Structure 1
Amino acid sequence: MQLIFDGHNDVLLRLWEHAQKGEDPIAEFVDGTDKGHIDAPRALKGGLAGGFCAMFIPPNEDYPPREVDENGHYSIRMVGPLEQRAALATALEMAAIAFRLERTGALAICRSTADIRAAMEARRFAAVLHIEGCEPITEDLSTLETLYAAGLRSLGPVWSRHNRFGHGVPFAYPSSPDTGPGLTEAGVALVKECDRLGIMIDLAHITEQGFWDVARESTQPLVATHSNAHALTPISRNLTDRQLDAIRERKGIAGLNYATTMLRADGMENPDTPLSDMVRHIDHMVERMGIDCVALGSDFDGATIPAAITDAAGNQALVEALRSAGYGEDDLAKLCRENWLRLLKTVWREA
């Protein structure tokens, strides 16, 4: 079994949402459940050894439906901005769930690659705290230092909505990722402070202009934790070949997103999506960037994924599909975990 360290999941969001309904998020993760995609038993079964656990603040309004026209095209209206204090309170509640899980021994909050490897060896879920959309952070960045001290080691300036730091892409098909402005002045300051602290910057939801803004302002590798190839699926969330080239040049990573809308040629949300669609995106990214710049970024608990995988327990189905497509064990180890660990060692400035 190839152990997997995953570039993105929303398990903390799912557990937080269930806690709001009076359910026990700790028992749900530790003992297992039939809800969502990730818990400790299913992670162990599927070799999901850990990953970036997002603290994503859900919208204040109902998310607009996906309205598909007669040509199969759609563009979902972007939701409005969030208030900083409320967003921070929600993020801290999600972080508290992670710390409570750490006390059970089922999960370890990791601040170094040594922490990640030790957690994997102990069969504890190796969690890296990540903020997806920086609404919880004050414009003067006074909260960032505290969040870093609490374990934050990765963030995406924006989700697919705009905020004080930059502009996100909408969920639209077919669409270029070049949908508007990029970083704001506050966003530039955020990027520079992340470089100083050693916080990884995730470009998965930012506009193409924002991508190039980060490339200009940051000295770190370029990373899109859960994005695929726009050349194969022309949805706004996917990366153009020019963006993939820039990631290669900076020795960064693009992590394969399991969301069917980002895998299928028709951009549809359909679990009846073959594993071959996942393999073809991996093939394209490897051909464009090389094996060292491609990894996995499932979006478990945040997207509709292929039925052939179903949840964390089914992760090895993708590994086997890649093996059958000709990827050897050394390359599979890189795709599944070693590329992420190599990159984090660089960003976190480890010796």
Structure 2
Amino acid sequence: AAKHSTQPVIASHSPAHALNKVNRNITDEAMIAIGESGGAVCTTGVGLFLNDKGDASPEAFAKHVEYTGKLIGRDKTCFSTDYMHNAFGMFKDNVANVDVYAPEKGFGSPAKNTAVEHIWGVAAILEDDYGWTEKEVKGFLGENLMRVYEANWK
């Protein structure tokens, strides 16, 4: 779809498939197409999507953001959270639909998640461990998405 769009495209909740081969993670090919559209790819903090250990630490999250930034540009990164105040409703749906939300598809339980308050730890890792500038971190934290929204919402 991104190859055919006349506007920048966003992929939300999209860790890198190259780092964890879960079928719902985004491929390099798709990320490149989104980057070429001027869009952004937002990593999410579901541990089962970040790595095969289910680690949802800020370090695990930042690894995917850095990978995406190297592939398509730091100005095309962002974050999506799957963290919510009350997830019990979602878990009921998952349990009731095990054919759709099967463990072998990456939907095992219990799932760890990078909590929204951990995004500051992710930002610090991007700066301290990966050398991101303040401008690049601000982009990741929301300015990159605002650029895409402004291009689309006229």
TM-score (norm 1): 0.34
> How far apart, CA to CA, are the structure 2 residues paired with 1:276 and 1:296?
14
CA contact (8 A) 2:32 2:72 kept: yes
Q: Which has the higher contact order (CA 8 A, sep 6+)?
A: 2
* 1:277 match: 60
Q: How far 1:233 sits from its partner (Å)? A: 0.7
SS of 1:256's equivalent in the other structure is strand
CA contact (8 A) 2:35 2:76 kept: yes
User: Aligned AA for 2:71?
Assistant: R
Distance verdict in 2 for CA 1:315–1:284, change over 3 Å: closer
Superimposed CA distance per residue, residues 58-92 of structure 1 (whole angstroms, 9 cap, x where no aligned partner)? xxxxxxxxxxxxxxxxxxxxxxxxxxxxxxxxxxx
Kindly indicate whether residue 139 of structure 2 is the aligned counterpart of residue 345 of structure 1. Answer: no
Could you say which structure has the higher strand fraction? Answer: 1
* 2:102 match: none
In the alignment of these two chains, the number of paired residues is 128
Kindly indicate whether residue 10 of structure 2 is the aligned counterpart of residue 223 of structure 1. Answer: yes
User: Aligned AA for 1:251?
Assistant: G
User: Aligned AA for 1:230?
Assistant: H
> How far apart, CA to CA, are the structure 1 residues paired with 2:120 and 2:58?
11
> How far apart, CA to CA, are the structure 2 residues paired with 1:279 and 1:304?
15
> How far apart, CA to CA, are the structure 1 residues paired with 2:151 and 2:81?
22
Q: How far 1:280 sits from its partner (Å)? A: 1.5
4+ residue runs over 6 A deviation: none
CA contact (8 A) 2:83 2:116 kept: yes
CA contact (8 A) 2:42 2:77 kept: yes
Matches within 5 A, 1:1-351: 212=1, 215-216=3-4, 218-264=5-51, 266=52, 268=53, 270=54, 272-301=55-84, 304-306=112-114, 311-325=115-129, 326-349=131-154
> How far apart, CA to CA, are the structure 2 residues paired with 1:313 and 1:219?
35
Q: How far 1:224 sits from its partner (Å)? A: 0.7
Q: How far 1:253 sits from its partner (Å)? A: 0.8
> How far apart, CA to CA, are the structure 2 residues paired with 1:289 and 1:314?
24
Could you say which structure has the higher helix fraction? Answer: 2
Q: How far 1:314 sits from its partner (Å)? A: 3.2
TM-score (norm 2): 0.74
Q: How far 1:215 sits from its partner (Å)? A: 4.1
Structure 2 unmatched runs, 5+: 88-110
> How far apart, CA to CA, are the structure 2 residues paired with 1:273 and 1:223?
22
SS of 1:295's equivalent in the other structure is strand
> How far apart, CA to CA, are the structure 2 residues paired with 1:314 and 1:273?
10
Identify the range of structure 1 (317-326 vs 252-261) with the bigger mean alpha-carbon deviation: 317-326
Report the identity percentage: 27
> How far apart, CA to CA, are the structure 2 residues paired with 1:278 and 1:314?
10
